[in-house]
Structure 1
């Protein structure tokens, strides 16, 4: 009998989404346990030395950090999502880390306090995505061609942020990036990606953004005021 798996999660964490996507792609049954990171239970503090999600409980053991978690899943549960060629596999691992760096950039983007910081963070993101445009396999539909990989699992949560951002502010981050846009659209259609978050994810992210006291928070507030006025009319 397979060892039972529990994914300890937070509703908005993009790194949790990576693990959930990989589990779904491999059709591995698992339990999902949500925790409040503002009120961490004692067992979580003991199991997660960095105080972060995801955790993957494997039997009685806890694994922490998304990269080793998804690598463990890829080593132990078929099908393989990493390339078999060692050079290409190393390249894919590098782009999983590249996705993590973009997530850091998104944090800077939604935390920028003024329009100058917001514009700088936006330009930094555009630079990263322009690089991606040059390295995505042109045959598609995924990063490395026809097969879904761990890189795809890492970038799906990246793109999901922009699905919400673009619902209330016009952005030019993906302008002229045809390959990135096609890849983003393909990932958004995939069941493992759609089901990695709850149906109320957009509302939860908006609620999170309202509390940031940032330039993006102000843009969201302006949009919501316009919506309220339109409804009142």
Structure 2
């Protein structure tokens, strides 16, 4: 079986597919494209014009959730639980992870401090729910690495860069979430799902947004809180 992952260097949904493929020990080819200048061949196989696309023996599969389920159906080393109710619960938390990604996009795109603080509050609220859901770890499902972990690896990776920009307090006091984040940082499949220049690429992407977070990067310097930046602007 020939597997070809069409990718974008920053896309968290691509990372899900790459992590799953790696966890399953599957050989695959990966090609990055520029989503701001999509090649015609890509548009021909991606009806929504989005990454990831997994081309299986010449047949394209698009949308990350579909790709993950296809890999579960066809490849070894299952990442979903065997029990149907447990699988449903995991799928629900995968959707929750996608909602977190939407809040992250709102965070780095927020036009002003108020909007940014609202997104900080939304993110913290979601991670509070997760902290209450997590057990003793090290993974979401205890000692079994699952697709929920696959989904949250790219989520936490954003904060590796956000933490160099400011101290936003999203994870303050959330011991279980922080421990989970630390374990995911060290997982080989998660680390290798992006290139070494990912942090630089993400910072450049944020800078070009001309958002409030961009302003913090440009005027506040590293490790400035939102309040400190606001005071400095007065």
Provide the rounded CA distance (Å) in 2 between the counterparts of 1:194 and 1:151: 16
TM-score (norm 2): 0.93
Is it true that 1:154 corresponds to 2:151 in the alignment?
Answer: yes
| Equivalent residues of 2:136, 2:176 under 8 A apart | no
In the TM superposition, 1:19-168 aligns within 5 A as: 19-136=17-134, 138-168=135-165
Deviation at 1:225, TM superposition (A): 8.8
Separation in 1 of the partners of 2:210 and 2:39?
28
* Other structure's SS at 1:62 match: strand
Deviations 1:164-214 (A, max 9, x none): 000121120001111100000000000000000000000000000001111
1:207 counterpart = 2:204: yes
SS at match of 1:164: helix
Unaligned runs of 5+ in 1: 227-233
Q: CA deviation at 1:139?
A: 2.3
Report the counterpart of residue 230 of structure 1 in structure 2: none
CA RMSD of superposed structures (Å) = 1.2
- Return the offset for 1:43: 1.5
Q: Secondary structure at the match of 1:155?
A: helix
* 1:185/1:6 CA distance change after superposition, 3 Å: same
Distance in 2 (alpha carbons) for counterparts of 1:225 and 1:133: 27
Classify the secondary structure of the residue corresponding to 1:7: strand
Does residue 196 of the first structure (1) align with residue 186 of the second (2)? Answer: no
Shift of residue 60 of structure 1?
Answer: 1.0
C-alpha separation in 1, matches of 2:174 and 2:155: 15
Deviations 1:100-159, CA, capped at 9 Å, x for gaps: 0100000000111111000001000000000001111x2210001101100000000000
Unaligned runs of 5+ in 2: 224-234
Per the alignment, residue 171 of structure 1 pairs with 168
Partners of 2:166 and 2:222 within 8 A in 1: no
Counterpart Cα distance in 2 of 1:220 and 1:100: 26
Deviating beyond 6 angstroms after TM superposition, the runs of 4 or more aligned structure 1 residues are none
SS of equivalent to 1:157: helix
